[in-house]
Amino acid sequence: MPKAELIFTHFHNSYSVSIPNLEKLSVEQIKELEYFVSSRNGIFDFETYSFVIQKRLELYEFSALINHLGIDARIQERIIIKETEPRIGFGQYKGMQYSELPNSYMLWLKTNYKGFDKEKIDKELRKRNL
């Protein structure tokens, strides 16, 4: 019987777990995971082979809980790197992210702006195909 592969992703006030080998697990293993999720008021999504539980939990706590319950699984962590988008530091849209600016203003910047943020503006223009 294969071990469940659990890929743990930590968020601010919740965590999600994907199970890429869900189809290879036995009915008993799936029921065991389903019970784990439902007893914690989580949501199991069979379409994406994952579940989400609204609780702040770290990887080591999740691993300890899975081991304590006797669920046979390999656990990995997926780390999400948050990129902070640059913000415009001048003009009427000061403080907004470049991705939030209207196309008309981006096109105006393309032809009129020659300051230190030119590279950021060009990057956003390429992303929008402008």
Give me the torsion for CA of 22, 23, 25, 30, rounded to 10°.
Answer: 60
Q: Choose the final residue of a domain: 40, 60, 78.
A: 78
Task: Give yes or no: residues 22 and 60 share one domain.
Answer: yes
Task: Give yes or no: residues 56 and 114 share one domain.
Answer: no
Task: Give yes or no: residues 100 and 124 share one domain.
Answer: yes
Q: Is the dihedral of CA 35, 77, 65, 55 positive or negative?
A: negative
Closest CA to 50 of 18, 84, 90: 18
Q: How far apart are CA 84 and CA 50, in angstroms?
A: 27
> What CATH number does the domain containing 45 carry?
3.30.780
Task: Specify the number of domains making up the chain.
Answer: 2
Over residues 43-71, the pLDDT tens digits come to 999 989 999 998 888 999 999 999 999 99
Task: Give yes or no: residues 22 and 73 share one domain.
Answer: yes
Task: Give yes or no: residues 89 and 121 share one domain.
Answer: yes
Q: Where residue 82 falls among pLDDT bands split at 50, 70, 90?
A: low
Task: Give yes or no: residues 42 and 67 share one domain.
Answer: yes
CB of 73 closer than 8 Å to CB of 5 = yes
Task: Give yes or no: residues 74 and 96 share one domain.
Answer: no
% of the chain surpassing 90 pLDDT: 48
Task: Give yes or no: residues 11 and 62 share one domain.
Answer: yes
Partners of residue 77 on adjacent β-strands: 8
Over residues 103-114, the pLDDT tens digits come to 888 888 998 988
Judged by DSSP in three states, 118 sits in: helix
Task: Give yes or no: residues 55 and 104 share one domain.
Answer: no
The residue range of the domain holding 40 is 4-78
Concatenate the DSSP letters of all residues of 38-70 into one string. HTTT-EEETTTTEEEE-S---HHHHHHHHHHTT
